[in-house]
Amino acid sequence: MSYLRAVLSSDEKKEEKYLKQLIIIGNKLQYDTKKYKKELKKFNKTSKTINKKVLKKNSKKTKTPVKKILKKNKKRDYRYSIHDVYIKNNTIIIDFNKTITSKDLKFFELKYKRLTKDVFDFKGRFKNAKPTKLSMKGIDKISIAQYKKDTLRLVLSNKKNLKTLYVFGKRKITIKVLNLNLLKKPIISQAIVNKYKINKNKIIVIDAGHGGKDSGAVGPNKRYEKHSVLSVSKYVYNNLKAQGYKVYLTRNRDKFIKVNNRTILANRKKADIFISIHANSVPKSKAHKISGIETFFLSPARSERAKRVAAKENKSDIRKMNYSSKNSFLTVLNRGKITASNKLAIDVQKNMLHTLRKSYKHVNDSGVREGPFWVLVGAQMPSILIEIGYISHPTESKRLYSRAYQKKMALGISKGINAYFAKNP
């Protein structure tokens, strides 16, 4: 179990255990662990006060609140693969009774009269499809129905085209509407108008993955990942520089750089965000079937796919640790930045897709995912890793070596960064 899960489940013993592990592992890696030692001391103090309160409550024999909480919890009916569909913090959450993959969701857009419809088909059955009513400010209508015996359909209908994004969890799919505020109030657009004033204070470090002796993945006709990602990184650098940002590249030529030295640069420059750019790959047997772009933010792996991609990108790291040690270290070291990194990943992924699809219609969306990428560990700021395509795919590998495609990709990344800073000034 990771430290984050221990916190979420209020398991105090495991919280203390993983904090101690973090300090031991951090000392081995020569990281500064002073703040974690302080946190452990604070934890010890708070746990003592909590224990005193618990003892007082038990002495008064107040058992009724526990019973009330238990009654509120819905019982899971495992005859149905979907447990619940609800709205929380302006996001729609589909809670499954099973582990899910991208195959469990199909998304498409429709135009009906003056309405645009975002249609989500989820693989599974939901017992309460009919009685469930959903509504959200800024969206004209949300309908939900058991479209087929094994398909639950969710439709967002609106006069203005919605920019929706879905994020996969282990047993959840979260749907977010990115331009919800724009439908009623021009809050974000006003921030974009003033972006040049904001940009002067923002520092960005762009990391072109691999380099030198580390070629990264190799596609058909000896197309190397290291060359493609460097070109895209330079285009992103030029775009952001022209907009007034302070931008740095971890490498501007075909040079090998140690994984930990990349984030050391970002920390030294006191960057506001760190973005590492890579290209994906799969074995030859699957090369012609799998394509698409995806964006990762740092977190312990939640899926086999995330573990596979992370293992590929972590190859050049020279630090030797077992998986469980890495997992607990990753979680605690970056837990304060996970939410911000998630927001950054969503904005970048959405804008890459939107920009590319204007010229390249069939670009697959592989989504925003969590993954244990070692290159992001040392970053003290929101950080993401972008897989700009599959260099193993016959068509996509050609695009990744095309200047036109590289420029479009870089433009999408730049727009995503602008959107992130506009929403989080």
Residues 126-147 have a mean pLDDT of 91
Res 9 pLDDT > 90: no
pLDDT score, position 161 = 81
In the block, which residue shows the tokens 């498409």? 108
**Among the listed ranges 131-135, 177-181, 389-393, which one has the minimum average pLDDT value?**
177-181
Tell me the domain boundaries of the chain. 3-71, 82-183, 187-423
Confidence grade of residue 56 (pLDDT, cut at 50, 70, 90): low
pLDDT score, position 52 = 54
Q: What is the pLDDT of residues 21-54, one digit of tens each?
A: 777 776 666 566 666 676 667 556 555 555 555 4
pLDDT score, position 29 = 60
CATH top-level class of 82-183: mainly beta
**Among the listed ranges 21-30, 208-217, 329-338, which one has the minimum average pLDDT value?**
329-338
Res 262 pLDDT > 80: yes
Average pLDDT value for the chain: 79
pLDDT score, position 337 = 74
Res 370 pLDDT > 90: no
Residues 238-252 have a mean pLDDT of 93
**Among the listed ranges 239-243, 289-293, 300-304, 357-361, which one has the minimum average pLDDT value?**
300-304
Fold observed for domain 187-423: Aminopeptidase (3.40.630)
Strand 383-390 to 273-280 pairing = parallel
